[in-house]
């Protein structure tokens, strides 16, 4: 009976993965199709990738996507790291309250966040464009950084900061030279997560820019409205590979971090 249930679980997982990834696999295969059909294979070619990187509109969208993702991730990482350090110093009740409030943007629907930011920009009379898209990406990236750094803070010795101050370090120096190096794995994971979320965002980018500037997600959406173009397949393939690579890096880092934490715990037990 146990073997039967194990088989059912594996079969269900296999079917689920097939439904999720088979359409993406077909898209990737037909990105190398020499014809424009999505049902008939006409031959292997790299022409659509060559056209992709000679299209000025696509190149501009790539520049907007990468620049927004890098800048928003860097700023969100700095702000989120400092916010996590501050939240960790709160008393328990205040800390739990702020953490719960920080979770709301992550749990909230993207369309609600996008419309809220759009109304804010209209209210303060900020012209929609590159700046508003950058601000929006920073805003929704900060919680991901905070929740990547806080676990490292909880696992860190609480006396490190006071010990550095007792040895003559200034508060700023203690944070830069003592606290930040201890938090670096969480900071890097938060940066990668923020970059990944920013790279493929559509809803918030669409509402915050209102078509004045386009990242890759908005450009693909506008192309799809006029019909399936093989360049969309090539562009979507590149985006999927970039995102999946970043997610693999995040998971590998988390796994290595868990292994190191387990080894340290075992060494501490042996020392006792």
In terms of pTM, does the model score above 0.95?
no
- Predicted pLDDT at 80: 92
CATH of domain 55-271: 1.10.3720.10
Q: What is the dihedral of CA 211, 213, 215, 219, to 10 degrees?
A: 50
DSSP track, 53-100:
TT-HHHHHHHHHHHHHHHHHHHHHHHHHHHHHHHHHTS-HHHHHHHHH
Using CB atoms within 10 Å of the CB of residue 10, give its burial: 0 to 12 exposed, 13 to 18 middle, 19+ buried.
exposed
Q: Which distant-in-sequence residues (6+ apart) come within 8 Å of 165 by Cβ?
A: 171, 174
Please report the pLDDT score of residue 199 as a whole number. Answer: 83
pLDDT of residue 7: 77
Per-residue pLDDT, 68: 93
List per-block mean pLDDT (blocks of 10 residues) for the chain, which spans 272 residues.
77 86 84 78 83 84 90 94 86 84 83 90 90 92 91 77 77 80 85 86 88 84 74 82 80 74 66 61
Domain residue ranges in the chain: 55-271
């Amino acid at each position: 009976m146990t073997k039967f249930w194990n088989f059912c679980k594996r079969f269900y997982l296999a079917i689920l993965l097939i439904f999720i990834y088979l359409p993406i696999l077909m898209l990737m295969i037909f990105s190398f199709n020499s014809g424009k059909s999505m049902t008939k294979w006409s031959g292997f070619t790299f022409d659509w990738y060559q056209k992709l990187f000679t299209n000025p509109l696509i190149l501009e969208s790539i520049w907007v996507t990468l620049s927004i993702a890098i800048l928003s991730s860097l700023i969100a990482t700095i702000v989120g790291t400092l916010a996590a350090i501050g939240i960790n110093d709160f008393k328990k009740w205040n800390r739990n309250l702020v953490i719960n409030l920080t979770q709301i943007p992550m749990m909230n629907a993207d369309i609600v966040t996008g419309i809220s930011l759009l109304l804010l920009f209209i209210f303060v009379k900020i012209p929609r464009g590159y700046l508003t898209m950058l601000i929006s990406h920073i805003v929704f990236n900060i919680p991901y950084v905070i929740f990547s750094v806080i676990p490292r803070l909880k696992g860190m010795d609480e006396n490190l900061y006071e010990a550095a101050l007792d040895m003559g370090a200034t508060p700023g120096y203690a944070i830069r030279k003592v606290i930040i190096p201890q938090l670096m794995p969480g900071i890097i994971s938060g940066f990668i997560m923020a970059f990944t979320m920013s790279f493929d965002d559509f809803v918030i980018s669409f509402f915050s820019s209102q078509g004045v500037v386009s990242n890759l997600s908005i450009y693909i959406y506008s192309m799809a409205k006029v019909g399936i173009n093989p360049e969309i397949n090539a562009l979507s393939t590149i985006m999927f590979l970039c995102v999946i690579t970043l997610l693999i890096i995040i998971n590998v880092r988390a796994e290595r971090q868990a292994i190191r934490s387990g080894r340290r715990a075992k060494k501490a037990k042996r020392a006792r």
